[in-house]
Structures are given as C-alpha cells and as structure tokens.
Amino acid sequence: MLFFADDFSYYWFHRISHHVNYFWASHVVHHSSQHYNLAAALRQTWTGNATGAFLFWAWMPFVGFQPIWILFMQQISLIYQFWIHTETVDKMPHWFEFIFNTPSHHRVHHGSDLKYLDKNHAGILIIWDRFFGSFKNEEERPRYGLTRNIESHNPATVAFKTWADLFKKAFAAHSLKKGIYYFLKPPGWSHDGSTKTTRQLIRDHNQLHPDKTIE
C-alpha cells in the first residue's frame, strides 16, 4: 500500500509540476539538459521542497503511513528513475512496458516536441498515465530540452532563471490578478498572448494541420 500511495502521489506531483508555473519553476531544472543520459537524471531541483513539493505526500501520514517509511519509499522511487534516463535501452518486454515506466516512456516525457509535451509523468508505474489520459508512446526519438532552452551551464542560472522570469513577468503585468496568474497558470501562459501554453500551441497546430492532429 505504501508503494502505490507514494507512486500515486508522485504522479500527481509530477503532472501538476508541468501544469502550474509555481511548481514548474523548480522542476524545470530536471528538463534543462538537451541531452538524455544518466547525468541528466542528476539534474535535480534546488527549490522543490522549499516551495512545497512535499505537500503532495502530506496526506499519507494522516491515513497511517509513518513519515520515515514515506521518505524511504521516495528514495526507492528516485533510485528506480535513475536507470530510465538512457538512450541505450530501446524497448523492454511488452508486459514491462505496459506496467512500468521505462527509458522509452521517459524519453517521451523529456521531449520538447509538441506531441510529447506534458506526457508520461509516471515515477515507477506507467499505469497512472494510461488511466488518467497522459500516456504517449514513443514514435521517433524526441528532441530533448525545453521549448525555450536556458542556454547556460551555470547551475545557479539553471536553478533560478525561471523563478526570476516569473517574478519579472508578474510585475510587468501591472495587475495583481494577472501577476498571480503567472504563478498559477501553465508554463507559457501570458496575459498578452506573447507566449503560449502547450494546450494553446496544440490548438493552433491542429487548426493549421487538420490532417496531422495532436491530442
């Protein structure tokens, strides 16, 4: 039960981290590499827990799970996710691909191609993505990185640039409501339409290319 509870919590933490700028500003560090290898797995947030990532697991002690075991299971999940950051492994056996997160599934997650954005948020079990509609099979190898790459190898820049950009845009909006939206809306949202979210980009693509629609 602990395993499933932790993995379920991780899925929603991870999914929301891709749909809410406040959490994306921390998680972006992990997606900042334009290469996909074991070193990319080690790109971890500096600000995640300080900005509330732990809240996604906060329900678990209230239903009886001991905090020390929650922390232990989080480490098991993190260790599992290390090996899937590779292009060396193509596909695992079909039954394994159906149940578990694999290099193929996670390559999709790290892709910056429009059809791969915001897909495959699994930690260990890919079944959550299949059940909640965020699953995408790997078709061709993705282009890795961000839709707008940070273009810096300075770890402090990678860790804090997105936060700085959020605050800058929020103040430039000259509206408390719009400023708050910059933290609550998905990545790419802008009050003036100068940048677009994944959903808006997909909508525009489907209107221009009705024969090549993206879900």
With 90 as the cut, is the pLDDT of residue 211 above it? Answer: no
- pLDDT-derived band at 74 (thresholds 50, 70, 90) equals very high
| 2-40: pLDDT as tens digits | 999 999 999 999 999 999 999 999 999 999 999 999 999
pLDDT at 89: 97
Confidence of residue 215 (pLDDT cuts 50, 70, 90): confident
What DSSP state is assigned to residue 45?
-
Is the Cβ–Cβ distance between 185 and 18 less than 8 Å?
no
Distance (Å, whole) CA 123 – CA 121: 7
Q: Which pLDDT belongs to residue 92?
A: 98
Other C-beta atoms lying within 10 Å of the C-beta of residue 143: 12
Per-residue pLDDT tens for 116-144? 999 999 999 999 999 999 999 999 999 99
Q: What is the pTM of this model?
A: 0.95
The domain locations on the chain are 2-132, 164-212
**What is the average pLDDT score of the chain?**
97
Query: Helices marked H in the chain — which ranges?
Result: 2-17, 21-27, 38-41, 59-62, 67-83, 94-99, 103-109, 127-132, 155-172, 176-184, 198-208
Distances (CA, A) of 154 to 15, 113, 163, 179: 27, 25, 15, 28
Assign 203 a pLDDT band (cuts: 50, 70, 90).
Answer: very high
